[in-house]
Amino acid sequence: MSKRQRNNSTEEKVKKWIKEGRGQGEGKDYKPWLTIQDVASKGHSTREKGWKTGRRHHFLSDLELFYLYTLEWSPYVVDIREQYPLLPLEKTLAIAEEIGVEHPRENGASGPFKVMTTDFFIVINTKDGLKTRIRTIKPENKLDNRKLEKFEIEKRYFQDLGIEDWKIVTDKRYTNEFYQEFRLVL
């Protein structure tokens, strides 16, 4: 049996996924940009039904799944959107050019440009109303210069949207992040 083609960056594929509603919606109606079937995982991929959203979440690592559990237990979290796309692609391409780093590509340097995603787009309820938090999840031993370049594109993308609360959560800082998310300072 042949493997499914996993090129999610062609213009036709992007248009198809947008038409399908990927990366759109809220709560139970949100559809992640990437599902576990779309990505060749080197680790453990899972689908887990969320308590808060009532829908299946798609995670590409155990660390992402464990972070979901953190968010599920927080009384302040009202919506969790995983594999959230950074669209339009032209925006992340412009940021990459502005900061002088290569934009991620499908299949390495020869492939088409890739639609970037963030691991968690989180909506929290504060005394001042609903706020957005962005969290990207990565094991600390996987944080190399190239990953940090990609994360800088991601961070600036959300800053341009007016979302300043962007952080990297690692396996080494997970316990501290758990307490921060659960006991959110209002």
Domain 11-181 top-level CATH class: alpha beta
Is the bond into 88 cis (omega within 30 degrees of 0)? yes
Count Cα atoms within 13 angstroms, Cβ side, for 56.
Answer: 7
Q: C-alpha distances in angstroms, 81 versus 12, 68, 163? A: 24, 10, 15
- The model's pLDDT over 69-99, given as tens digits with 9 standing for 90+, comes to 889 888 999 999 999 999 999 999 999 999 9
**What is the 8-class DSSP label of residue 115?**
P
DSSP result, 76-108? TEEEEEEEEE--SHHHHHHHHHHHT-PPPBTTG
What pLDDT was estimated at residue 11? 81
Low-confidence ranges of the chain (pLDDT < 70): 1-9, 36-38, 40-48, 108-109, 173-186
What pLDDT was estimated at residue 1? 38
Contact between 7 and 58 (Cβ < 8 Å): no
**DSSP reduced 3-state for 181:** helix
- Locus of tokens 């979290």: 77
